[in-house]
Every structure is written in structure tokens, then in C-alpha cells.
Amino acid sequence: MSAIQTQSDGVAQSGVQDQYADGKAAKNWRLYIGEQSGRTTNYKTFLVNLLKEKNCTTIMDAACGTGVDSVMLIEEMGSNPAFNLTSCDFSDKMLKDAFKTRWDRRREKPFFDWVIEEGNWLTLKKDVPVPAAGFDAIICMGNSFPNLMDEHGDYRNQKIAIKNFFDMLKPGGILIIDHRNYDYILTHGKSPNKNIYYNSSIYKVVTKTIYEDGKAKQIILDYRKKDEEDGNFLLHVQPYKLAEFTSLLKGVFGSTANHKVFGDFKELKDQPDPAFFIHMIEKPARKITMGS
């Protein structure tokens, strides 16, 4: 074999597989999520209020996909002159839609200013420019993080990704990150019968669990389009139990970091069996030590 490499490997982003590369999910995402404006009011109010309450203006959407959350944030917060949004995703097939929206609405200033980058969570600091002070908030929504599979059985990639988010936040900045209620799925063999994000009546999502030595290794989300097989697509995801995910976050942010979990955007106590858990975790402000 020649020692001279004559061509690049031709693989997408290093290390992780882009499940969206065949374009099927991207093509059907709009149908799956229903009307973009149909993002539930609960969701919109929750996210926007939380960001405003914490005075977040410099924001990164770390899994923007086709740009649903980003567009919502621009529409809700873009009139604030300090607002500054960076959106990224590692799937160019998904990003295509976000680029198109930015172009179509470029005459609106906050859309003109919208930064969109191709970025992989594992190499994010290299892929995406970070403001000098760090971001006020990073969001990673829509069950995106579980796309990153635990291939080594020790969450090493998850820790790298979360550490990258941590490093890119300013002290006092917040990470808002969600995942489906896998505790429920693993106990009942199916998702709770509701979806806070999407209101499509065209799709039904069937869940299948793969076990290895008694431990749930992988969940397959089988998106089935009613009456038309052509629009079907599959995603596989890592099934995090709530306690596991919390400990991953705290492992990076520190055990004393301010952390709160919501169920379907409400207080957990008011929401038995939510479809999604949403974590808010704050990067501790720098400690001022004597003599420094």
C-alpha cells in the first residue's frame, strides 16, 4: 500500500455518523414538525421567558437543524439590538433549510445578522467562532443530544461535547438541553402519548429498543408517515435515564452548579410522565480569590 495519501477519506464530520446525510429526515422535517408557527405556545413562552429572565442576548443554537428554534428566537427576540444568534449543526442536509430561510428573509436585519456555521459538538470550539466573553446561553433542543451514541460505553464523546458547551459559555451562562423521557420509554416500551414540540398529524413515531446484556443500548425512532411510505425515516438515539443525564451534566459543570429540570416545560411536580425533560444548568460564575 502506498504511504502517500492521494485523496481525502470522503467522510463527513470526523468521528460521528450523520444520520441525516441521506436527506430523508431533512426533506420531511417540515412535515414532521407541522407548521413552524405551531411550535406550542408553552414551548415558545418557556424558552423565550427563560432567556429574557436571565438577560441572555448572545445565544448559540447548537443543534439548529432546519432552523426551527433559531427562527423562533429571531422572531421573538431579534428586535433587541443586543441580540446575537449563532446557529450550528453538523448535517449540511439539515442546514440547507436554515441557509435558505436566512437568504429569503435577509431584508430583515436580525436575519441578515444571523450567523450559521457547520459545527460538530465534538469539535465545536474549532468549528464555531465564540464571542470573547462566551455565549450567554446555548440551547440544544428537540431531542438532539441523544443523537450522539455512546459507542465506547463510557460516555467519552458526550463528556467532550458537554465540555465544549461549557467552555463556550460565559461564567453565569446557561445551557438548555433536552431529551425524551427514556425512563418512561424503557419502562413502558413506548413514548408518552403527547409531543410538546411538534403538532404534525401526518406522522406517528414508533419506538423500538435494542438491548445488549440486559442494558438498553439504543432506541430506534421510526417516523412513519400516514398513507405514504416514501416519507418514512429512522433515527437511532441513546436512551439516557434522567439521573444519568443529570450526572453527565454535573460531571462537567460541577456538582454545585445551579441545575433545574422541567417536564414538558412545566415544573416537574406538575407534570407526571412528561414526553421530554428539559435541563437548565448554569456555568458557575468565577470565584474571586483573595490576592488575585
- Does 148 bind ligand SAH (CB under 6 A)? Our answer is yes
- Pick between residue 12 and residue 254 the one whose CB is nearest to ligand SAH: 12
Binding mask 15-44 for ligand SAH (x = CB under 6 A): -x---x------------------------
State the cell numbers at 136.
450567554
Q: How far apart are CA 113 and CA 87, in angstroms?
A: 11
In 3D space, the residue among 196, 246, 238, 244 whose CA is nearest the CA of residue 221 turns out to be 238
Asked whether the beta carbons of 34 and 200 are under 8 A apart, the reply is yes
- Does 68 bind ligand SAH (CB under 6 A)? Our answer is yes
Instruction: Select the residue whose beta carbon is closest to ligand SAH and give its number.
Output: 142
Task: Give the nearest distance from C-beta 150 to ligand SAH in angstroms.
Answer: 13
Secondary-structure breakdown of the chain: helix, strand, coil percentages, each rounded to the nearest 5: 35, 25, 40
- Does 141 bind ligand SAH (CB under 6 A)? Our answer is yes
Position among 78, 134, 142, 263 found at the interface with ligand SAH (CB under 6 A): 142
- Does 91 bind ligand SAH (CB under 6 A)? Our answer is yes
Residue 122: how many other CB atoms lie within 10 Å: 18
User: Alpha helices, DSSP H only, in 113-241?
Assistant: 124-127, 156-168, 182-188
With CB under 6 A as the contact rule, which of the stretches 61-69, 200-208, 244-252, 274-282 interacts with ligand SAH?
61-69
- Does 74 bind ligand SAH (CB under 6 A)? Our answer is no
Residues 243-282 that bind ligand SAH (CB under 6 A): none
- Does 63 bind ligand SAH (CB under 6 A)? Our answer is yes
Q: How far apart are CA 171 and CA 133, in angstroms?
A: 9
Q: What angle do CA 263, 25, 103 make, to 5 degrees?
A: 95
Residue ranges binding ligand SAH (CB under 6 A): 16, 20, 63, 65, 68-69, 89-91, 94, 120-122, 141-142, 144, 147-148
